[in-house]
Structure 1
Amino acid sequence: MTRTWFGDGVTGDEPARDVDEAEKGEGARPTVLLVEDDARLAALVRGYLDEHGFTVDVVTRGDRAADRIRQTNPDVVLLDIGLPGQDGLSVCREIRAGYAGAIVMMTARGDEIDEVLGLEIGADDYVAKPVRPRALVARLRANLRRIAERTPRAGERGVRVVGALSIDPGQRTVCYRGARVPVSTSEFELLEILARRAGHTVSREELLGESRGLRYDGLNRSIDLRISRLRRKLGDDSENPELIVSVRGVGYMLVTRP
């Protein structure tokens, strides 16, 4: 049996399945910064992730997380919301502009408002408490794959220019009208997909599938939230957008005019 970890450190059981060597992963161990004040839960998560190929560092206070992220630049930040010193949402907001890795929020089950807020301020994904160990590993690996797939090898792809917008896949940077625009990993991925198909409508289903590897069920709001954030950062009026336009009932299109 494997464990399900609850936010208060209590453990329960869920059906176990053998983990083969391929599932554990090969090569360099991805680094995870776990920001969690529950010592028992942090120890359980750290131990399980260590067994499954991750190197885990732990910070127990929100007001110490940003400095640790800047110092160590982990591949993934696994960030609880309820933290002493500074809550997880504030930490996410503070680090997002300068951190290119994935931010995965941990939220209490049923707290949809936390999920929405987390996505709005730049989180890439979330896991609900009680945390299911295997699902957590799958989420972390999925985010790492998305980052790797969107990071080109040297010389593989150049800067993509669409009107006044330029996207550099190598540096993972976005500039609009000559000014650099701070974007999250998930926002960058979404904008790059739209840029590759500039002038054409891309459905929500396609955007969700290509950027997050998920099927669109008609209810998932993460794409709309990311579009809203991108418009705000690019200065594109959400009431009358000129850069990222909505195609009613279908999806979004990146306009090619200057």
Structure 2
Amino acid sequence: MNHILIVEDEQHLADLERDYLKQAGFEVTVINRGDEASDWLQQHTPDLVVLDLMLPGKDGLDICKELRKVSDVPVIMTTAKVEEIDRLIGLEIGADDYLCKPFSLRELVARVKAVVRRYGHAAKPSQVAAQESLVQLSISENDTRACFGERCTELTIVEVRLLLLLRQHPRQIFSRDQIIDGIYDDRRVVSDRTVDSHIKKLRKKLNDINPEHNYIQSIYGAGYRYNVEPDVSTSQSQAE
């Protein structure tokens, strides 16, 4: 399932965009400020960004410029400005498509599908497999170990279950409740902070054997997911 980031300060419009995209089968994160979106994009890699031009904190053009320095994630810009120069500037800095407000939400969904489909076809399966092999872990449930190459780390039973749960569904976002249901057989009462603690300890262990990759991504307001894409910039620790 593709993950879409919506950066839009008009909350009502952002909610409508989110609802239409979710109904179309996408995972969606909504952020209302440009500076918060910029920070979020340093830690996460969505499949596409729907980016408003005029935002509090930092405008969409600056965000797109920053993003293009480190990533080719597709961007659809939205704006109330209809002048030709604004459209050309947006495309020149790396935007993949452009929508002028007011626009049809069905058209937005169609544009998102088209751009995602175009980028999805750009990478051949062999290329994807080669990339994923750069970060591939071997996980042994019997002796509770995870290994990257010849480097291994000892895990607890709960950590093994957690890691297997996330890896079996790469890119799927798991809420804390879903994680609790997936790793505890006895349906015990466990708090969200317990899940966060497991994630933090597991991340540290995985970072010890492969500091160049962040295997478990935090998705703001949603939960966690397993990251199969190589990313040497994610060795920084993530705030919970």
TM-score by length of 1: 0.48
1:112 partner amino acid:
E
Structure 2 residue corresponding to 1:129, chosen from 77, 101, 104: 101
Could you say which residue in structure 1 is the equivalent of 2:30? 58
Matched, 1:39 2:16: no
Letter in 2 for 1:77: V
**1:96 is aligned with what amino acid?**
R
C-alpha distance in 2 between matches for 1:111 and 1:94: 23
Identical-pair percentage: 46
Q: Decide which of 21, 41, 53 is 1:81's aligned counterpart.
A: 53
Q: Could you tell me how far apart the structure 1 residues matched to 2:46 and 2:16 are?
A: 19
Cα distance in 2, alignment partners of residues 127 and 155 from structure 1:
32
Structure 2 unaligned regions, length at least 5: 131-240
Q: Report the residue type matching 1:98 in the other structure.
A: V
Aligned residue for 1:116, secondary structure, equals helix
| Structure 1 residue 70, shift from structure 2 partner | 2.5
1:69 shift after superposition: 1.6
Q: Measure how far apart 1:132 and its partner are.
A: 0.5
How many angstroms does 1:109 deviate by? 5.6
Describe how 1:47-196 pairs up with structure 2 within 5 A.
47-108=19-80, 110-154=82-126
CA distance in 2, matches of 1:126, 1:155: 29
Offset of residue 133 of structure 1: 1.1
**Distance change in 2, residues 1:115/1:41 (3 Å):** same
Which stretches in structure 1 are left out of the alignment for 5+ residues? 1-27, 159-258
Secondary structure, in 3 states, of the residue corresponding to 1:73? coil
Residue 111 of structure 1, CA deviation: 2.5
Contact preservation (8 Å) 1:107, 1:114: no
Contact residue 17 and residue 105 of structure 2 kept, 8 A: yes
Amino acid at match of 1:136: L
Q: In the alignment, which residue of structure 2 is the partner of 1:243?
A: none
Distance 1:131 1:73, change over 3 A: same
Paired positions, count:
132
Structure 2 residue identity aligned to 1:127 = L
Amino acid at match of 2:123: T
- The structure whose residues are more often strand, as a share, is 1
Using the size of structure 2 for normalisation, the TM-score is: 0.51
Q: CA deviation at 1:96?
A: 0.9
Q: Distance in 2 between matches of 1:151 and 1:128?
A: 30
Amino acid at match of 2:28: V
